Amino acid sequence: MLKKFLRFFFIDEVLREDIAFLKKVPLFRELSDRSLAKVALIIFKKTYLAGEKIYENNNEANVVYLVKSGQVNLLCGNINKVVEEEGFFGETSLIENAKRTCLATVLKDSELYLIYRAKFEDMVESNGKIGLIIMKNLASMFAARLKCSEV
């Protein structure tokens, strides 16, 4: 009873849910709960309707998108890729201030979590370890893509 009472008054359940979600996203693999909480605190949540355009070619890339629910279609040149729950896209924006090279459109009504690069960099600046782990995850994903293209 007391535990329930204390939980209700002191523990941020929304934050806990966000941490549980972030744990499943490959980009944040191996991060501790406390580090995930720091990531969760800089997230913006936004609901998109089916058919809505998220970004298109040549838009400035400042945000990485995590798919909480729904489906998003990425059209990069002639290649189509569908990103589903627990997936993410626009990750190059974490590395460089470049332009988008894909068209991202919502297939099914989706809830997306947005991480803005400047805020992410601020967080990494004060928590080098989080930055290192995320960059390691990104690097191994890019390496896997390169291997695939070699084959």
Partner 1 sequence: MTESAKNRVFIIAVILFLGCCLFLYLARAVLAPFLIAAFITYLISPIVTRIQAFGYKRYVGVTIVAAVLVSIFAEILIIVIPILINELENFQFNADRYYEYFLNYLGGIREKVESAFPVLKRYDISNAVISKSKDFLLYAAQQIPNYLANIFSVFSIMVLIPMLVFFMLLRGSKDLKSLVGLLPSNYIETVLSIVYQIDAIFGRYIRGQIIEAFFVGGMSALSLSVFGVNFALLIGVIAGLANLIPYLGPIVGLALAVVVGVAQYQTFAIVVKIVIAYAIIKFLDDNFIQPLVVGYNVNLRPVSMVFAMLAGGHIFGFLGVVFAVPVAAIFKAVFTMLLKRSPAENY
Q: Give me the residues that bind partner 1 (CB under 8 A), please.
A: 9-12, 15-16, 19, 33-34, 37-38, 41, 44-48, 52-55, 58-63, 99, 114, 116, 118-119, 122
Closer CB to partner 1, 30 or 149, in the complex: 30
Rg (CA), the chain: 17
Task: Give the relative orientation of helices 128-150 and 33-40 as an angle to the nearest 10 degrees.
Answer: 90
Q: Could you tell me the smallest distance in angstroms from the CB atom of residue 37 to partner 1?
A: 4
53's tokens = 């355009």
Closer CB to partner 1, 20 or 143, in the complex: 20
Helix (H, G, I), strand (E, B) or coil at 74: strand
Closer CB to partner 1, 25 or 115, in the complex: 115
Strand partners, 15: none
Closer CB to partner 1, 41 or 146, in the complex: 41
Q: Could you tell me the smallest distance in angstroms from the CB atom of residue 144 to partner 1?
A: 27
Are 88 and 66 in contact by the 8 Å Cβ rule? The answer is yes
Q: Could you tell me the smallest distance in angstroms from the CB atom of residue 50 to partner 1?
A: 13
Choose among 23, 55, 28: nearest CA to 120.
Answer: 28
